[in-house]
């Protein structure tokens, strides 16, 4: 046997000896070495081995809940300190024009995990706490399933909000591990929903804890990273902060008191405490990546699921709030850090991204092809993020019917936006020069207005064709 072949055999034996040993050896080499490494693998090893040797970076998706675009230090405010979220931005890439798929919780989560416009999943409205029989179509396969099949350990800690039936629980959708709740929000100490049902689960088993929920997410995330440090992992962290009830970690005496936590404590100072607690737990997670030596091979993404809410949030510099399709209802901070691949401190100004892009992006990081049934609504952002190229997409669509029955419509194309707002009034804005949506150009640009309106309508016809639907909500 030639020395090269002996080395190959020795390498294969080493690989099977222990996963820990293999993982510790698979630090990402500099990208300039990739062609040489690829050529050596092709020449020396059978193809299946070459596939197995491909690095499988870890992915962490952090999703804040109702965090306003302006509510992180990096995007503008000075009264809330978010040094760890800011660190993600400073050490990674910021996409300045990032959108949540929906202006409320459930739709954005459906889009994020399916890679589709949420309308294709049927989950294009909020699932309310009284709707105990309602859930997203259980036949729809979600992101963790494809990663699990590719050898990833998968975990979700936090808020699910894709339905109540157990057939749709994270444990049935490809997540090995789940600790969290399935309704739209819980008391941070009592872990009860608005109807005072206890809502805290490990897998499908009800559990009880007295931990402040944001800290509980941090605990579980750090423990998951430690336990899976020597194998590829996918970690989805949908924090419920700073969604109401308004309770910071110092407000244990408000446990279970909805009058205080929904009304009295609806204050900027309480929101600040909630955001800063989330930031501190994100800091624990980043520290644990450093401690395990995983920062270079772990992509970390941060977004919010929709815009902030009136009174307490800052959607600066945008107009509108959660539940509307004004920019303030759907714009989100977007930070992506992967020190092994993305440049530090880069800001992408003009190219928009949207929650569902994280589906294709995560699969691309894992080296997994887009599933055959997946119409590519969301796109792989890697070329944009690592600076190697751009993305081929010019138009984004939004559609949301609120509980009062008004269908809101929006579409961005280039620097322009068509909007039919929460009152049913139509507008045309030149976002590129008017991010605050103050100057309606519908009368000045009638042809553009009609063209964009028709494009939106054609999209609606396409996206709803054959799609499942949730039962109609009756308040």
Give contact residues for Ca ion (rule: CB under 5 A): 65-66, 105, 305-306
Q: How far is the CB of 306 from Ca ion (least distance, A)?
A: 5
E-strand spans in 65-212?
Answer: 93-95, 98-99, 153-159, 177-181, 201-202, 205-206
Residue of 21, 33, 69, 161 marked catalytic: 161
Residue with Cβ nearer Ca ion (248 or 307)? 307
Between residues 358 and 366, which has the closer beta carbon with respect to Ca ion? 358
Cis amide leading into 245 (omega within 30):
yes
Query: Which residue's beta carbon is nearest to the bound Ca ion?
Result: 105
Helices (H) and strands (E) in the chain, counts: 14, 17
CB 377 within 8 A of CB 117: yes
Query: How far is the C-alpha of 69 from the C-alpha of 286, rounded, in Å?
Result: 22
CB closer to Ca ion, 94 vs 306: 306
Q: Is residue 33 flagged as an active site residue?
A: no
354 or 368: CB nearest Ca ion = 354
Please report, to the nearest 10 degrees, the dihedral formed by the alpha carbons of residues 179, 182, 187, 193 taken in order.
Answer: -150
Least distance CB 309 / Ca ion (angstroms) = 9
How far apart CA 209 and CA 207 sit, in angstroms, is 7
**Among residues 21, 33, 69, 105, which one is catalytic?**
105
Burial class from Cβ neighbours inside 10 Å (0-12, 13-18, 19+) for residue 250 reads exposed
Question: Taking the complex as a whole, how short is the minimal distance between the CB of residue 400 and Ca ion, in angstroms?
Answer: 13
**Residue 161 is among the residues annotated as catalytic for this protein:** yes
Smaller CB distance to Ca ion: residue 305 or 357?
Answer: 305
Burial readout 136-160 (b: 16 or more C-beta within 10 A, e: otherwise) = bbeebbbbbbbbbeeebbbbbbbbb
User: In angstroms, what is the minimal distance from the CB of 105 to Ca ion?
Assistant: 4
Report the nearest approach of Ca ion to the CB of residue 57 (Å).
28
Which residues form the catalytic set?
Answer: 105, 161
């Amino acid at each position: 046997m030639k020395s090269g072949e002996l080395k190959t055999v020795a390498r294969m034996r080493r690989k099977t000896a222990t996963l820990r040993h293999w993982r510790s050896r698979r630090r990402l080499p500099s990208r300039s070495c990739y062609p040489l490494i690829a050529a050596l693998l092709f020449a020396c090893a059978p193809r299946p081995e070459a596939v197995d040797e491909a690095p499988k970076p870890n992915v962490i998706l952090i999703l804040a809940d109702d965090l306003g675009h302006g509510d992180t230090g990096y995007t503008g405010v000075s009264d809330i300190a978010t040094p760890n979220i800011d660190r993600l931005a400073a050490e990674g890439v910021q996409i300045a024009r990032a959108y949540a798929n929906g202006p409320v919780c459930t739709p954005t989560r459906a889009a994020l995990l399916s890679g589709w416009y949420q309308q294709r999943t049927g989950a294009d409205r909020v699932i309310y706490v009284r709707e105990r029989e309602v859930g997203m179509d259980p036949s729809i396969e979600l992101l963790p399933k494809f990663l699990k099949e590719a050898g990833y350990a998968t975990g979700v800690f936090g808020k699910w909000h894709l339905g109540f039936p157990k057939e749709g629980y994270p444990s049935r959708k490809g997540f090995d591990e789940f600790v969290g709740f399935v309704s739209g929000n819980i008391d941070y100490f009592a872990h009860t929903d608005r109807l005072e049902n206890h809502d805290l689960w490990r897998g499908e088993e009800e559990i009880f804890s007295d931990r402040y929920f944001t800290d509980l997410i941090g605990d579980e995330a750090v423990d998951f990273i430690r336990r899976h440090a020597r194998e590829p992992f996918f970690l989805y962290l949908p924090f419920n902060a700073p969604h109401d009830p308004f309770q910071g970690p110092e407000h244990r005496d408000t446990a279970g008191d909805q009058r205080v936590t929904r009304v009295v404590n609806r204050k900027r100072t309480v929101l600040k405490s909630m955001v800063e607690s989330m930031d501190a737990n994100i800091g624990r997670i980043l520290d644990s990546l450093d401690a395990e030596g995983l920062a270079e091979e772990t992509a970390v993404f941060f977004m919010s699921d929709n815009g902030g809410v009136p009174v307490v949030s800052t959607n600066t510099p945008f107009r509108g709030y959660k539940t509307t399709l004004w920019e303030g209802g759907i714009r989100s901070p977007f930070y992506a850090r992967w020190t092994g691949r993305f440049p530090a401190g880069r800001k992408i100004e003009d190219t928009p991204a949207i929650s569902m892009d994280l589906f294709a992006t995560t699969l691309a990081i894992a080296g997994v092809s887009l599933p055959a049934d997946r119409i590519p609504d969301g796109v792989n952002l890697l070329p944009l993020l690592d600076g190697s190229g751009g993305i081929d997409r010019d138009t984004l669509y939004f559609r949301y019917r609120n509980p009062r029955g008004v269908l809101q419509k929006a579409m961005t194309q280039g620097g322009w936006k068509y909007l039919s707002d929460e009152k049913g009034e139509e507008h045309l804005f030149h976002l590129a020069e008017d991010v605050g949506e103050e100057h309606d150009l519908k009368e000045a640009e009638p042809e553009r207005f009609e063209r964009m309106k028709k494009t939106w309508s054609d999209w609606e016809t396409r996206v709803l064709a054959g799609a499942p639907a949730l039962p109609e909500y009756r308040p």
